[in-house]
Amino acid sequence: MKRLFIILIVWLYPVLSFGSINECLTDVYFGNGILTDEGNATANTLLLQKSIKDQIFHGSTSEMKKHIGKVKEAYNSTHLGGLHDLIESLL
């Protein structure tokens, strides 16, 4: 009986551990452009989140949480000055 219980737990663990992921929600990421520091990217992410809530969900936080999983930034840092990033963007 003890072995059966252990086998059942080992078999159910992957099924139960992925139960908290809701694939029906949409995740929104803000990707910054060149010459944007991390503070501006964070501020723009918060502005994006506020505009989604105000314009699409008419200010309803609970309605937004039903459809939007998270609004986060995908920060792209500047390397070696603006010229290198400009060339990378052109490519």
4 within domain boundaries: no
82 lies in a domain? yes
For residue 53, what is the DSSP state? Answer: I
pLDDT of residue 53: 93
**Nearest-angstrom CA–CA distance, 12 and 68:** 29
Is 3 a member of any domain? no
Domain that holds residue 58: 23-90
Output the pTM of the full model. 0.63
In a domain, 12, yes or no: no
pLDDT in the model for residue 86 = 77
Question: What does the pLDDT read at residue 49?
Answer: 94
Q: What is the pLDDT of residues 1-47, one digit of tens each?
A: 778 778 877 777 776 666 566 778 889 999 887 777 888 889 999 99
Does the structure show a pLDDT above 70 at 63? yes
Is 51 inside a domain boundary? yes
Is 31 domain-assigned?
Answer: yes
Is the pLDDT score of 82 beyond 70? no
pLDDT at position 51: 94
Asked, for residue 38, whether it belongs to a domain, the answer is yes
Name the 3-class secondary structure at 7.
helix
**Overall number of domains in the chain:** 1
